[in-house]
């Protein structure tokens, strides 16, 4: 049986201002980051198209992690 969904926290004060400022900053994706993200996306889509199991094995996860790792600290597909 599924667990109930927790209530979404409401931000107040400095946390709310910091969150609002963070949401206003638009970060442009570099062509290299887009290429890496699209390679990872296409690889996963091929797994599903070829009828592979939806379970991701450890070696597949390591490949995805390598594909997601960009030169910058931002990781688009593996965001926490």
Number of domains comprising the chain? 1
Q: Is the residue at 4 inside a domain?
A: no
Domain with 75 in it:
30-80
30: CB partners within 8 A, 6+ apart: 70, 72
Q: Is the pLDDT of residue 42 over 60?
A: yes
Count CB atoms within 10 A of the CB of residue 67: 19
Is-contact 29 72, C-beta < 8 A?
A: no
More reliable by pLDDT, 37 or 73: 37
Q: Is the residue at 1 inside a domain?
A: no
- Chain Cα centroid distance, residue 52: 21
Band (52; pLDDT cuts 50, 70, 90): low
Of 75, 80, 79, the residue nearest 37 (C-alpha): 75
């Amino acid at each position: 049986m599924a667990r109930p969904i927790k209530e979404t926290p409401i931000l107040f004060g400095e946390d709310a201002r910091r969150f609002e400022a963070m949401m206003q900053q638009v970060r442009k994706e570099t062509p290299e980051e887009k290429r890496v993200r699209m390679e990872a996306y296409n690889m996963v889509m091929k797994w599903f198209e070829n009828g592979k199991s939806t379970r991701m094995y450890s070696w597949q996860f390591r490949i995805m992690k390598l594909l997601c790792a960009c030169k910058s600290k931002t990781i688009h597909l593996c965001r926490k």
